[in-house]
Each structure stands twice: as C-alpha cells, then as structure tokens.
Amino acid sequence: MRVLCALLAGLAGALALAPCAGAGEVSCDGFALGYDGEAKQKTCKVEDTSTGDLTSEAKVLDVLDHAFSLNLVYEHTGFRTYLPARSPTALLKELSGFDRITPIGSERHLRGFDVIAFDATPRGEAYVLLCALFVRYSGNPGNYELPGGPGAKDAVRGVYCAEPGFLPPSEQGQGFYTVVDQTIARLRLPPAD
C-alpha cells in the first residue's frame, strides 16, 4: 500500500487550513462529514482555524483504504469572516504533498462541486497516483467589501487519490472523473446554503 497517511497530512495543509490551534480527534459517529463506502480507516478532527478577529472552524475527515485516500475539509466561518473563493486549478497549485502534478483535462462540475483531476507523484516517491481536487463554496458572507475577491461563509474542499493499478483502463485518464463522481456521491456533507 503506497497511499500513506503522511500524504493525507500533506493534503490537509494544502487545503488552506490554518495551523492546528486546538485540533482534536473526535468520533466519526454523527460527525458533520461522512463517507458511505468501504474503508480501512476513517479519522475525524475538529480544528479551530480562527486568526485574530476572524473566526472559523474546520471539520476534517480522512479516509484511508488499500486502493485510495480521501481528505475532506468543511470550513465554516463566523461573524465578519469569509473564505475567498478559489478555483480547483488555483488550489491545485498550492498542493504541497506532491513533487509533480499534471492536470487531466479541464475543470468539471460534478454534484455541485468544481473538480479537477490530475496525475501526481507524492513527494519523495517514484510512483504516480490518480487524484482529484474538488471544492464547493456556499453561504453569503454579507455585504462587506471583500479584499480577497468573491467569497463565501462555508467551503467543502477535498482531495481524492487512487492507486491506478486498482482501476480498470476505462476509469483512468478522463474516465477518472466517473470515479470521482461516484466518490462524491458517497459523501455525507452539510447542506449548501
């Protein structure tokens, strides 16, 4: 199994979470996020991502199996705080857990998420994974001047990576978007406002 927990840790940092000030592992029973599929391990955490006067909280779900890994983050902001909306392509440039990233095609819209699939070589490794980054923004931040451009009160961001050897040829390349669509369908998420 080459899809390692260390890769998930790198992905969590890449999804724009602030340092884990008050991070804590919690039970996944009744958690705000869920994955309704088979997996070896599911870990849930709550992180206070507030900085200064800006308040936010992130709920994190990491799912690990022999053939895939999933890192899912739901960030909810408080009063006078918003999350700048960034495209999957922009977020892809910030992923730190990989030495090489090659997008597969262009962004797509699947089940309410903006998605970009990509081939990736984990940092320090020689093998390639098939991955997808997906994001959904929701909630009106109010009528404030937003210095970072358009934004929202809530965001769900995720990175799903699969071992290509476990996928038939029809689910590789552009066909990987079908796998990602099926994965998103298995997620339990807070409603989009």
**Domains present along the chain, CATH in parentheses:** 5-188 (3.40.1000)
Q: Which residues, in sequence order, are bridge partners of residue 101?
A: 120
What b/e readout covers 117-150, taking b as 16+ CB neighbours within 10 angstroms? bbbbebeeeeeebbbbbbbbbbbebeeeeeeeee
Residue 166, phi then psi, degrees to nearest 5: -95, 0
* Average pLDDT estimate for 116-137: 95
pLDDT score of 13 more than 60: no
Write down the pLDDT at residue 96.
86
Interior angle at CA 68, CA 15 and CA 156, nearest 5 = 30
pLDDT score of 5 more than 50: no
* Average pLDDT estimate for 46-62: 89
Write down the pLDDT at residue 55.
84
* Average pLDDT estimate for 91-110: 92
Lowest mean pLDDT among 19-33, 62-76, 109-123: 19-33
Q: How many residues does the chain have?
A: 193
pLDDT score of 163 more than 90: yes
Write down the pLDDT at residue 20.
41
Q: What is the 3-state secondary structure (H, E, C) of the chain?
A: CCCCHHHHHHHHHHCCCCCCEEEEEECCCCCCCEECCCCCEEEEEEEECCECCECEEEEEEEEECCCEEEEEEEEEECCCCCEECCCHHHHHCCCCCEEEEEEEEEEEEECCEEEEEEEEEECCCCCCEEEEEEEEEECCCCCCCCCCCCEECEEEEEEEEECHHHCCHHHCHHHHHHHHHHHHHCEECCCCC
158 or 5, which is more confident? Answer: 158
